[in-house]
Chain A
Amino acid sequence: MTQSTPSTDADHYLRLARQEQQGRLTVYLGAAPGVGKTYRMLQDAARRQAEGVDVVVGVAETHGRSETALLLEPLSILPRHRVDHQGHALDEFDIDAAIARHPGLILVDELAHINAPGSRHPKRWQDVEELLAAGIDVATTVNIQHIESLNDVVAGFTHIRVRETVPDQILDDAELIIVDLPPDALIERLAAGKIYLPDTAGRALSNFFTPTKLAALRELALRFAARSVDRRLTDQLRTAGDEGDFVAGERLMVAVSPGKGGAQVVRHARRMADIFHAPWTAVVVESGRARAIVGAQREQLADNLALAASLGASLMTVAADHVGDALVDQARQLRASQIVIGKSRRSRWFEWRHGSIAQDVIRKAQGVAVHVVPLSDADERPDKPREAAFARDDVVAFAIVVATVALLRLAQPWLPFGAIDLLLLIPVILSATVLRLRAGLWSAVWAALCYNFFFIPPLHSLTIDDPQNVITFAVLALVAAVVGWLAGRIRRQAETSAGVARLNASLARFAGLMGGLSEKEETARVACREIGNLLDVEAVIVTIEDGDIVVRGNDAYRRIDMIDEAAVRWALEQGIATGRDTGTLNASDWQFHPLRTSLGTMGALGLARPSQERIIRPDDAVMLASLVDQAALAHERIVLEGQARQVDALRERDRLRGALLGSIAHDLRTPLTAVIAATEAITVEGAFADEIRIARSESRRLQRFLDDLLEASRIEHGAIEPRWESVDLTDIITDVLRALRQDEAGSRVTTRIDGDCPFVSSDPLLLRHVLINLIDNALKFSPVTTQVEVELLCRDGDVLCRVLDSGSGLPADTDALFDRFHRLEGSDRVGGSGLGLWIAKNFTEAVGGTITAGNRAGGGAMFEVILPGRPKDEAEGRAADA
């Protein structure tokens, strides 16, 4: 069982949330052509433009009316996009240009328009959805007869079924503006030739313009608008947290049947759901009999479900043997308060034999209202695609009976009379087992007739004398029926489980094949071959590599044309199936399924079939989904393996570099230690006093440089692992000042320390390094006569350590200071590796702190290290125990 019902509340808030980022849709709704929707829309647009909104006309049909054309003049008009279709040049709305232009408001007339083949979307309302998703406000027009859920109703009284429909959902969040004109006025306008009607449909459409029909259409439009207003009010109430007298707890369930009638039932359910503001679920019961439905009916069922989904239903498929019970059960589980079900007008005889599902549901449903939608018989009449097979079965059954009878006739002299009726069971059982039930029953009839004709006196006549022979006849028929029924059931079960087993075996084989491959070209080739064989289609795998389309897997197709390419790109970008038989770019010859994985979309699987039938039969959809997943996983694995190899190589290189640096550092450090010790052993006096001083300071500088390089390489290798302990920053500051020889009297560093600062959990050596770098910098970059101040204070439980100097301050872009090898202008003079602040930042962050730089109000720079303090009472409390 599958279900995709978000709760009403979640749905409600999702919709509101979506509205916030999306563009707003304004729909001018009219009861019939000619009421002035476009005119009104243009008037409003001119007003919006005067208010300063960037208004663009995407499509506006003036139909040659001059007053409407006049309104267009002040507005900027987006050029149409010319599409060639079978020699006709069609001007279509240019969605790419519209999105690129990104106006504040775009006018797209005629929401129900069907785009020329080859456009991105088959329907204009899909273009509008994309515009809204791009955050552009859209204004559009539509007539009431184009609304999907009202399609039947309108067709019912106008006898015209409109092909261009718009799903109700798109209007759900829209602002509806009803453009109303009384029927009489409208007919006057028609008479005055002010209403444009397309030539071909003109006569048919003029059927609309009778006062009764116009009144009915007008009522529909007004009711539709009223419902929309009502829903908006409810939305507002709910957002405000006030449920008001919202009809709570209503939930609809509609039973979807195959056949055209199913669509009618679905539309009816949608209208009811609208009235009740109720969520609704479309349920299909897959019973043994339902599984037997094939061909056109299966397609119709898929279409009915798609219609329900497009009208906002959540879909559910239930497997059960008894349809009525399953529906009632499901209604209970969904806590549905209303069940909508169709019922065809059938003969009593048919109902008595097959039972009526609707009757069944009505009888069993308790506490649930059941709405029965009457359907015409034609809508439900089962298709008979297997008529030929049935006829063949009947012939075979007849032949078996004839053969048996012939043999029995030959063998009759040697057979006891009583054995003949028993032996005649053989062809009946045979036919019933091997052939279909109907053939079994026919063979029973023929066997009984032959028995009567050839073996029962009076011979060669169909009269029965002996009542015992009547019983024989009846038994033969009964046996045939029972055996046939049982055999049929077993065969159906066997077929089902064989189908499942075949599916599983195919998938297992496919997964096994995919698992063994490690190269792109080969994987694509095997995947396409297998998928092609399993689904009886042509398959390719299309990827985009460095911006170019690459087609793999099928030597017969190495290239795809431009429409296909657009479909591939769409499938990859949007992550949805695109192309033939889908809602997007269905002029493409191929249907593309994105190969989605956790790493992103790996490419697209393209499927094609030379004939005009659907590429994917509804029965194969499950299998296709699994195959697409497997193919995607195989591609993902190849990418991951490649990455793993690369990572291994990188890691090895890093390891070598680390080892090299370590050994260089050691080899450099030892002699440097000797040099430093030696220069410091020499007393600074005599003729070479300056040289000694230079040697000392330069060797110290070399030392710092080496240290910085080593720390930087540790940071780069992610080798900084803090040794956490409780740290008193007073200790660190004292130690740093000692190391910098600024702890004696007359030092250049002044401290202001809050002695009650909490301890921090940190790494003392990393913090020491940070402070050494900051204080050393401050000493270097400020005049020797000035003081460097070090402050330790506590704020909001955090510990702040500030280093302030009276130098020339920092440039405006203080973030860049912390970059690697960043040096201030002129800092070569004082020397440094350009790594000091970068290291300070990395170490601070390694212990969970932050470091910032800025200028002091009175001149000079300020660096601030903020370390998260631990709760003071924790440390104190523990010490109190001590």
Chain B
Amino acid sequence: MHKDVLIVEDEPAIRRLLMGALDRTGLTYAEASTAAEALRLAAVQPHPLVALLDLGLPDRDGLEIIPQLVEAGLAVIILTARDATEEKVAALDLGADDFVTKPFDSAELLARIRSALRRKTGSRADPQRRAFEGGMIDREAHAVMIGGAAVALTPREFDLLWALCEKPGRVLTHRALLETVWGLAHRDDVDYLRVAIRALRKKVETDPSRPKLIINEPGVGYRLAGSAQRVA
């Protein structure tokens, strides 16, 4: 039987707290306190689904092992300090799914873990359609429904919304979104993204001035809130 979570953390106190929280929610886990140990456990088949990775490890920089963990099939959530923007962006660009800042709130951490687990274990339904809170997007039909009514999006807005829905809950960096929607040439034109997000929010959010669907991570990127699901 596989483990749900691989905890990679060198501080014993934090490790025990994480274990306690996972215990209470009934999730299974393996624990590692060094990078080497983490890589060894990730290679055990069947591998854990989600890695909770602290970047400050005694033997190696946590950033270095992200590609190997992703390669091994794990969704990586990093634990980091709030002001470490560059670290977050680097980790996400290396393939990490999400980040949680210290000091963390256990409820939020668990929600993130669940969201990642869902992405890993989601049902094999129609890969061309996604549902999100308050709406649905259909790639084949190029249609978006909000609250039961069809909404007309420009091709860019549609691509942007699809990019966010494809991996719901996962943080997409500005650069990743720009590359996907506008292409490599515009990977640094954050302005394009800001304007498109504002336009998109006006069409899909109930209150565009207090957005609940397309969530900004300051300095890092955007994520789609809630639990977008593949529509069966």
- Which positions in A face B, CB cutoff 8 Å? 669-674, 676-678, 680-681, 703, 723, 725-728, 730-732, 734-735, 737, 743, 751, 753, 755, 759, 763-765, 767-768, 792, 875-876, 878-879, 882
B190 in contact with A726 (CB, 8 Å)? yes
Contact among A672, A792, A876, A882 for B182, CB-based, below 8 A: A882
Query: Which residues in B have their C-beta under 8 angstroms from that of A764?
Result: 218-219
A672 in contact with B103 (CB, 8 Å)? yes
Give the interface centre of B103, B105, B174 by most chain A CB atoms within 10 Å.
B103
A726 in contact with B218 (CB, 8 Å)? no
Q: Measured between alpha carbons, how far is A671 from B11 in the docked complex, in Å? A: 9
Q: Given known contacts A726-B191, A882-B156, is B17 in contact with A677 (CB within 8 Å)?
A: yes
Other 13 A-B pairs with CB < 8 A, given A723-B85, A767-B218: A674-B11, A674-B17, A677-B14, A723-B219, A753-B209, A755-B202, A764-B218, A765-B85, A875-B194, A875-B195, A878-B191, A882-B186, A882-B196
Give the interface centre of B103, B208, B218 by most chain A CB atoms within 10 Å.
B218
B13 in contact with A676 (CB, 8 Å)? no
Interface CB pairs A-B, < 8 A, 24: A674-B13, A674-B14, A674-B17, A680-B105, A680-B107, A681-B20, A727-B194, A728-B194, A730-B198, A730-B208, A730-B209, A732-B216, A735-B218, A751-B209, A755-B198, A755-B208, A759-B194, A763-B219, A764-B218, A875-B194, A878-B189, A878-B191, A882-B192, A882-B195
Contact with A along B182-208 (1 / 0, CB 8 A): 100010011110111110001000001
Q: Measured between alpha carbons, how far is A755 from B105 in the docked complex, in Å? A: 31
A-B Cβ contacts below 8 A, count: 103
Query: Which residues in A have their C-beta under 8 angstroms from that of B106?
Result: 677, 680-681
A677 in contact with B196 (CB, 8 Å)? no
Query: Which residues in B have their C-beta under 8 angstroms from that of A672?
Result: 103
Give the interface centre of B20, B182, B198, B208 by most chain A CB atoms within 10 Å.
B198
Q: Measured between alpha carbons, how far is A703 from B105 in the docked complex, in Å? A: 13
Query: Which residues in B have their C-beta under 8 angstroms from that of A755?
Result: 198, 202, 208-209
- What is the chain A residue whose CB lies nearest that of B79? A673
B190 in contact with A725 (CB, 8 Å)? yes
**Cβ of B107 to closest chain A Cβ, rounded Å:** 8
Q: Measured between alpha carbons, how far is A728 from B182 in the docked complex, in Å? A: 20
Q: Measured between alpha carbons, how far is A723 from B89 in the docked complex, in Å? A: 13
Report the interface size for chain B: residues with CB under 8 A from the other chain.
39
Q: Which 7 A-B pairs have the closest CB atoms?
A: A879-B195, A753-B209, A731-B216, A764-B218, A674-B13, A676-B103, A673-B103
Query: Which residues in B have their C-beta under 8 angstroms from that of A727?
Result: 194
Q: Measured between alpha carbons, how far is A755 from B201 in the docked complex, in Å? A: 10
Query: Which residues in B have their C-beta under 8 angstroms from that of A670?
Result: 11, 14
Q: Measured between alpha carbons, how far is A792 from B21 in the docked complex, in Å? A: 39
Query: Which residues in B have their C-beta under 8 angstroms from that of A743?
Result: 210
**Cβ of A719 to closest chain B Cβ, rounded Å:** 12
Query: Which residues in A have their C-beta under 8 angstroms from that of B202?
Result: 755
Q: Measured between alpha carbons, how far is A678 from B12 in the docked complex, in Å? A: 13
Q: Measured between alpha carbons, how far is A192 from B150 in the docked complex, in Å? A: 118
**Cβ of B90 to closest chain A Cβ, rounded Å:** 14
Contact among A671, A676, A725, A876 for B219, CB-based, below 8 A: A725
Contact among B189, B198, B209 for A882, CB-based, below 8 A: B189
Q: Measured between alpha carbons, how far is A26 from B202 in the docked complex, in Å? A: 75
Q: Measured between alpha carbons, how far is A725 from B104 in the docked complex, in Å? A: 27
**Cβ of B217 to closest chain A Cβ, rounded Å:** 8
**Cβ of A688 to closest chain B Cβ, rounded Å:** 18
